[in-house]
Amino acid sequence: MKAKSGYFSTFCRGGVCGVSEGLMLAMLAIVLAIPASAGDAGFKGVSAQIVVKSDPQRIFEAIRELRHQGKVSVTVLSSEGNTDTLEEKWDDLPIIGHAFCRYRETYVPFERIEYKMIDSDHFKAFEGRWTLTRQNDGSTLVALSSYVQTDLNVPFGHQLTNFTTMRNIHKRLDEVKRLCERRPG
């Protein structure tokens, strides 16, 4: 892939983005190669999966616990039946900086968690799903699919968003695996 020399460095005003031109092109090449969710032909986002040596109930609970860990602030605004309304706040998103998003999570206990944006100051879309599939050996296949669209009007903004989203998906899957496989029972 050949880009006009200096394009990204000019766009980022000498490194304001914190990413070198070479790294930016490498990230773009990776993102363009990331497939959408294989299980949903109409899905526009990115997805990944991991096998966790644990049962779906424990994994389901760990996913819900993760909202209270890390640098991101998540507040439960309301809870009714198998649906929670949440507000998530970020302080350090690349290029965007601060952002908030209110979204609804719908649960099929121990099988699936789906989320969809209600409103946000910087996102046009924020939706996805966790799916938990019990395997014959007692482990569970955990898949996370996410579609995020921001209001960024920058070259390759969608690809950069997908790259960041995919990195976060892998981080979340690894956290779930770590939480569930270290617990007794």
Do 129 and 44 form a contact (C-beta atoms < 8 A)?
Answer: no
The per-residue pLDDT for 20 is 53
pLDDT digits (tens, 9 = 90+) for 144-163: 999 999 887 888 888 888 89
Phi, psi of 42 (to 5 degrees): -90, 0
Paired residues of 85 in beta bridges: 78, 104
Of 61-65, 88-92, 96-100, 115-119, the range with the highest mean pLDDT is 115-119
pLDDT band at 91 (very low <50, low <70, confident <90, very high): confident
How much is the pTM? Answer: 0.75
Q: CA neighbours within 13 Å on the CB side: how many for 78?
A: 7
Going along the chain from its start, the domains and CATH numbers come out as 1-33 (no CATH), 36-182 (3.30.530.20)
The per-residue pLDDT for 28 is 46
Q: Per-residue pLDDT for 62 more than 70?
A: yes
